[in-house]
A and B are shown apart, each in its own frame.
Chain A
C-alpha cells in the first residue's frame, strides 16, 4: 500500500515538474551510459533531482537514486516519506561528528547493487552569484573506491528562478537539463586536479546567460 502511494506520488511530482517547467533534456552525443553511473549536477533548488529524474528514460529512472542530506530528509514524516519512499534517496549524514554511517560506503554499496546516483558535489544549494561553488571531495573518494564508474555531468538550467530559496509558489519557466559525455578519473589523478576537471566539465554545459547577445 505504501509503495503504491509512493509510486503515485512520484508520478505526480514528475507531472507537476513538467507542467511548471516544460523541462527538456539535451542528450550527449555519445548517449547515456548503459551501466550504473553517477550523474553529478549543479544544485540551486530542492527540485533539482526531481527534474533530472523526470527527464531520464523510465528504464534508467527506476534504478536512479538521488544522494541527499539525511538531516533535511528525515526531519519530518512527510520529508522522510518523500525522500525515502518516493525518491528512494541514498540518505547521508553530513555532520562528521555525529554520523553513524560512512557516506562513501553507502554510495558504493548502492552502485554495487546496480543503482545509479544523482549527486550534487557542491554539497549545498548555491545561493550565490557564482555559477558553481567549489566541489566537495565526496565524489573523489567515491571514484577512488570504484574508478570504473562513469561520471555524467548534468547542468540544470533556470530552476533556481522557478523557485528561489524561501519562496513557496513556483513560477512557471522553461527549464533545460543538459547531459554531458561520461567521464572517468584518470589513473593517479590528484584530488584537486580531478575536482577541478569535473567542475570545468559541468560549467562547460551551462548555456550562456539569456540576453548576452552571443
Chain B
C-alpha cells in the first residue's frame, strides 16, 4: 500500500471511531430524553449523525475512485449547490439562456479544466469569461427590469457554487516536492478541519453557549461556541500535520485561518438566507438542511487555503 493509502486508511478508521462514538452518544440521549415523547433536538442530532455517516462514506468512495471520483463528487456538489442558490435568486424569462449556460456550460467546463490541469484558464474562467459573457447573454433579450441585480446574482451564484467549490479538488493539481501522490490528503485535511470546526462550534455552543455572537445573522451561534470550536479545531488540525506537507505549527496556523474563514463564510451565507427569508438552503441532507448549509464554510476557506499552499509550498 502506498504511503498516501495507509495514511488515508488510518484517517478513515479514526473518523469511523468518532462517528461510532457520536452514534452511541446519540442513542443514549434518545433513550434518556425521549422517554416521555419525541424530542426535536435529539431527533435532529441523530439525523445529523446519520447524514455524517453517509457523507463520510461518499467522500471515502470518491477518494478510492481517485482523481475522477473526487472531480465528479465536487462537480455534483457544485451542481446541487448552484441549483439551491438559483432557486432563491430573482430571475426573469430573459435570463433563461444565461442560467442554462451556467449549469450546462460553465460548470462542466470549470471541472474539465481541472481534469486537464489547465491552471491558468481554470483560475480566470469564471471571474473573467463567465463574468463578461453572462450579462451579454441576458442583455440580448432586451429586458432591463432590475438588470444589475439579476446579472450580479447569477455571477455571485457561479463564484460561490462553482468557482469556490472547485478549489477543493484543485488541491489535487498542486505540485509539492516530497508530497507527490498524496495531494488527496490535503483535501481530507481541509474538509476535516473545516467541518470539525463547525461541529465543535455546535457542541461547545450547546454545552456552554451564553453570549450570542451575531444575533441578527445567526441566533444559534455563540461566543463560547466560536472560541471553543475554533481553538479545538485548530489544535486537531495541528495534530493532523502528519498527513500534510506542513510542520505542526504551520498546520495549526493554516487550520486557524481556514476555521476563521469558515466561520465568517457561515455568517455571510446566513445573511443571504435572512435576506431571502428562508431558514435553510434546501432539504438535500436530512437534519442539516441544504447542501450549501453544509458547504458554506468550505466555500469560503477552500480558495484561501488553496492559494496559501500554492504560493508557499507548490512548484506549479
Contact = CB atoms under 8 A, between A and B. Distances in A.
Nearest to A163: B96
Interface string B81-117: 0111011101101001101100110000000000000
A210 B277 contact: yes
B275 interface: yes
Contacts of A212: 277
Given A22-B283, A158-B87, A172-B103, 14 more contacts: A22-B80, A169-B97, A169-B100, A171-B86, A171-B96, A172-B83, A173-B83, A173-B87, A174-B84, A174-B87, A174-B282, A208-B277, A210-B87, A211-B277
A212 B276 CA distance: 7
Contacts of A210: 87-88, 276-278
Contacts of A164: 93, 96
B277 A214 contact: yes
A158 B84 CA distance: 12
Q: Which 3 A-B pairs have the closest CB atoms?
A: A174-B87, A172-B83, A169-B100
Contacts of B97: 169
Contacts of A169: 96-97, 100, 104
The size class of the interface chain B forms with chain A is: 20 to 34
Interface of B is mostly: helix
A148 B68 CA distance: 57
A91 B261 CA distance: 57
B52 interface: no
Nearest to A173: B87
Contacts of A174: 83-84, 87, 282
B96 A172 contact: no
Given A22-B282, A161-B91, A164-B96, A173 B277 contact: no
Contacts of A172: 79, 82-83, 86, 103
Nearest to A176: B283
B284 interface: yes
A24 interface: yes
A167 interface: yes
